[in-house]
Amino acid sequence: MAHTGNQIMNGWFSEICPMWPGMALSVEIEKTLVSTASPYQQIDLYQTRSYGKMLVLDGIIQLTERDEFAYHEMMAHVPLFAHPCPERVLVIGGGDGGTLREAARHKEIRILDICEIDGMVIDISKQYLPEVACGFDDPRVCVHIRDGNLFLDEHPDTYDVIIVDSSDPIGPGEALFEKPFYEKLKRALKPGGLVAAQGESVFIHQETVSRLFSIVKSLFDTRAYASITVPSYPGGTIGICLGSLGVALTQPSRTIPDAMQKHLKYYSEQVHKAAFALPRFAKTLLEQS
C-alpha cells in the first residue's frame, strides 16, 4: 500500500505525496462518508464544502463531483473521436465509472469492457457517486474485476481503443506505467487501434512524463500528449499520453453528434485540437524523451 502523508486538520484534507514534494492540495471537508481499506488500497470518500463528494485512494484525490467532467470527457472523447469507428473498447482502471459514462455516449461502440482490479471502488462509487458510476448501467458494458496486465495477456488483437484511467504510479497503479504493460497494450490493439493513458503533469512530474512518453515512442509510430485542466489535481493539470497504430491523434476524425453535444461541458472539436498545443518547455521535454 502506498504511503502518503495526507491528513485532515481543522476540517481541511491535505493531499501530501512524495510524487509532488513540497506542495499540498487542500480541500475543505464537511463529512467523511466512507473510510475503509480494500485488499489493494485505502478508500476514502468525503463530502466537501465546495467540490461536492470527493473520492480519495491511498490519500490521493481521484475525482470531485465538481470537476470530474473535465478529466472524464477528455480521457474518453479525445481517443474515441480520434478513432474513425471504435467498435470494441477497453477501459483499464476507472472503477468510479466516469470514463465509461463518457465512452458510452459513442454509439459506434458495440462492446465496452472495463478491467478494474479493485471491486470495492466500483461498489462505493455506485453507492455514493451515482452520477459518475451511471457509466456501469450501459448494456454494452462488461465488468472484469482483474489485474489489467493479466487481462491484456488474454486479449491479443482485440480492441480499437484502450483507455488507461489509472491512479498514480504508486500503489496498485505502479505496473501501469512500465514498458511491459505498454507492450501488452500494443498487442491487444487491432490494426489501426490506439491507446490513451493517464499521463500525469508536465509541470510537476517531468521525470515520470518523460519516461512514459519514451516508452510510448519506442512502441508507437504515432504518438502525442494532450493536456487537461482539472483544479482538484495538483498543479491544476493532468495529461493524456497517446499512441496509435497509424491513426492520427491530434484532431477528431468524426463530428460530434447533436445528441452528444448537449451533455458535453469540456470537450469540443476545438478543445481536442488545442489540448495538444503544449507550452515550449513541455514540447522540448517530450521531444527529448
For ligand SPM, the binding residues (CB under 6 A) are 60, 62-63, 94, 96, 98-99, 165, 167-168, 198, 200-201, 205, 233-234, 238
Task: Give the span between the Cα atoms of 218 and 56, in whole angstroms.
Answer: 33
3-state secondary structure of 267: coil
Q: Which is nearer to ligand SPM, 186 or 205 (CB)?
A: 205
Q: Which is nearer to ligand SPM, 227 or 247 (CB)?
A: 227
Catalytic residue (one of 118, 160, 165, 168): 165
Q: Which is nearer to ligand SPM, 22 or 191 (CB)?
A: 22
Q: Which is nearer to ligand SPM, 198 or 227 (CB)?
A: 198
Name the amino acid, one letter, at 238. I
Residues 6+ apart with CB under 8 A from 76: 99, 102, 103, 105, 106, 163
Task: Give the span between the Cα atoms of 116 and 267, in whole angstroms.
Answer: 25
Residue 205 beta carbon to ligand SPM: minimum distance, rounded to whole angstroms: 6
DSSP 171: G
Q: Which is nearer to ligand SPM, 94 or 252 (CB)?
A: 94
- Read off the C-alpha cell for 147: 489485474
The answer to whether 96 is a known catalytic residue is no
Residue 98 beta carbon to ligand SPM: minimum distance, rounded to whole angstroms: 5
Please report which helix (H) or strand (E) contains residue 216, including its range. Answer: helix 206-219
| Strand blocks (E) in 94-203 | 111-116, 141-145, 159-165, 189-198
Task: Give the span between the Cα atoms of 183 and 216, in whole angstroms.
Answer: 9
Closest Cα to residue 119, out of 141, 97, 152, 139?
97
Which residue's Cβ has the minimum distance to ligand SPM?
Answer: 201
Complete edge-to-edge strand list for the sheet that includes strand 88-93:
141-145, 111-116, 88-93, 159-165, 189-198, 237-244, 222-229
158 phi and psi angles, rounded to 5 deg: -115, -40
Q: Which is nearer to ligand SPM, 103 or 189 (CB)?
A: 103
> Which residues are known to be catalytic?
165
